[in-house]
């Protein structure tokens, strides 16, 4: 029984070896790779031009925008504190 199982394993390893031996490395041609690289770059440019404005605006979160937001919040907070103080004095 064991011998039969061993023989089967040897056979399967042989099949695996044959498959591995039959495989030749294939590579895309340099011309194809170059064309595809160029096509992807073109697609990327087209995609950027096609972006709806609101999506484009959403992507423009720069440090300056964040700073402006923080300053705005700070100004609103100070105004609220001053208003509260003014109300308390009255």
Partner 1 sequence: MSTSESDDILIRRAQENPAAFEPLYERYVAQVYAYAYYRVGNVQDAEDITARTFYQALTHLSRYTNRGVPFSAWLFRIAHNLVSNWHRDNGRRQTYPLDIVLDTPDPSASLAERAEVNEETRRLWAVIRTLPPERQQLLVLKFVDELSTEQIAVIMGRSEGAVKALLHRTLVAIRHQLTQVA
d(CA 45, CA 56): 14
CB nearer to partner 1: pick between 47 and 54: 47
Write the DSSP string, 4-25: HHHHHHHHHHHHHHHHHHHPPP
Q: How far apart are CA 19 and CA 40, in angstroms?
A: 34
Interaction of residue 66 with partner 1, rule CB under 8 A: no
Q: Does 10 help bind partner 1 (rule: CB under 8 A)?
A: no
43 lines the binding site for partner 1 (CB under 8 A): yes
Residues that bind partner 1 (CB under 8 A): 8, 11-12, 15-16, 18-20, 22-28, 32-33, 36-37, 39-41, 43-44, 47-48
């Amino acid at each position: 029984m064991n011998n039969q199982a061993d023989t089967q394993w040897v056979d399967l390893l042989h099949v695996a070896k044959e498959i591995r031996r039959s495989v030749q490395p294939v590579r895309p041609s340099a011309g194809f790779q170059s064309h595809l690289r160029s096509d992807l770059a073109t697609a990327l440019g087209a995609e950027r031009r096609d972006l709806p404005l609101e999506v484009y605006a959403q992507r423009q979160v720069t440090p300056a925008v964040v700073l402006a937001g923080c300053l705005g919040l700070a100004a609103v907070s100070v105004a609220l504190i001053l208003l509260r103080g003014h109300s308390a004095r009255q």
